[in-house]
Amino acid sequence: EPLSNLDAKLRVQMRAEIKTLHQRVETTSVYVTHDQIEAMTLADRVVVLNQGRIEQQGTPIELYRKPANLFVAAFIGSPAMNLLPGTIVAADGAPAVRFADGTVLAISGDHAGLTPGRKVTVGLRPEHLNPDIGTGSVINGTALLVEPTGAQSHVVFELGGQHVTAIVDGEREVRHGQPFEAKIDPERVHIFDSETGEAL
């Protein structure tokens, strides 16, 4: 981990230098890191290890879009993916998931083994919980915490008894204690087996 002891600004600069050097010399390199940002930005292919076992390997975007299990899902992405317990239900003949508070979220029909009543873990990326998309399932909650970062704001709200983070445009005014509404495309909802952690 060559960048672990550098300050944040120098770490970004050195990451760019390493990427440029690698592109210029065009030789195979193995880079070991616990920093998922370094893994995503530097690698052509990423191998995610957990206690010496390969959990998943592929391009950075493959791991981001289709994590193989809960370990990879929680590792890739910043802020981390929201993970919530849910139950599969049928809504208007299509698969959906219901949370503890009764909220029902539409999901893609591409997932395998989604029989009604099955307990699952639902993964929602903060950047996909967006009040401004035109269509998608609507999630309502109360803003518990708002963290402005400039171009974006991180909004923490409650869903199914769990704290969930959403990323919204920094220009959008969201206040603590006020109602908050987000939408998510069913294609962006990740479903995992609650017992094995494997993606469904």
Give residue 6's pLDDT.
Answer: 87
Give residue 192's pLDDT.
Answer: 96
Give residue 135's pLDDT.
Answer: 76
**161 occurs within a structural domain:** yes
Q: What is the distance between the terminal CA atoms of the chain, rounded to a whole angstrom?
A: 33
Give residue 159's pLDDT.
Answer: 85
Residue 85: partners with Cβ closer than 8 Å, 6 or more residues away: 99, 100, 119, 120, 121, 122, 160, 162, 194
Among the ranges given (58-72, 73-87, 101-115, 181-195), the one the predictor scored with the smallest mean pLDDT: 101-115
Q: What is the CATH number of the domain that holds 90?
A: 2.40.50.140
- Condensed to tens digits (0 to 9), the pLDDT of residues 185-199 reads 999 999 999 999 999
Instruction: Give the type of residue at 80.
Output: A
Domain edge (last residue) among 75, 101, 116:
75
Question: Which pair of tokens denotes residue 128?
Answer: 């996909």
Q: Which domain holds residue 102?
A: 82-193
**64 occurs within a structural domain:** yes
pLDDT at 113 over 80: no
Give residue 118's pLDDT.
Answer: 94
Residues 12 and 92 in one domain: no
Average pLDDT over residues 86-104: 89
Question: Which pair of tokens denotes residue 21?
Answer: 């050097």
68, 199 Cβ separation under 8 angstroms = yes
Question: Which pair of tokens denotes residue 174?
Answer: 């969201």
Count of domains forming the chain: 2
Q: What is the CATH number of the domain that holds 71?
A: 3.40.50.300
